[in-house]
Amino acid sequence: MPTLVLKPTNVHDFQLLLGLAHRLGVEVMQEPAPDAAQLEARFFALAGSWQSQQTGEELNAQLQASRTSTRPDLAL
């Protein structure tokens, strides 16, 4: 059977969903909310550093050269 994970944004919604689950006879498994250190560890696990043989200036030039615009040029 599939699992549904709900993350309510406030205590009222949490209590409402918990009550509904109990009335429907749905199994409820609660996990404690992660603390700040766990959230920070998750963030840094997703965010990595960029490694390249190009210098910052070369990468910047490549990005600038690849930019395109569909707007007409305007004389200022």
What's the pLDDT at 12? 95
Residue range 7-33: mean pLDDT, rounded: 91
What's the pLDDT at 30? 83
- Classify residue 17 by burial, with Cβ atoms within 10 Å: 0-12, 13-18, 19+: middle
What's the pLDDT at 2? 84
Residue range 3-19: mean pLDDT, rounded: 91
Where exactly are the structural domains of the chain?
11-28+35-66
| Strand, helix or coil for residue 28 | coil
How far from 17 is each of 2, 5, 54, CA to CA, in Å?
18, 11, 52
What's the pLDDT at 32? 84
pTM of the predicted protein model:
0.42
% pLDDT > 90, the chain: 36
List phi, psi (to 5°) of 27.
-65, 135
Rounded to an integer, what is the distance from CA 47 to the centroid of its chain?
Answer: 11
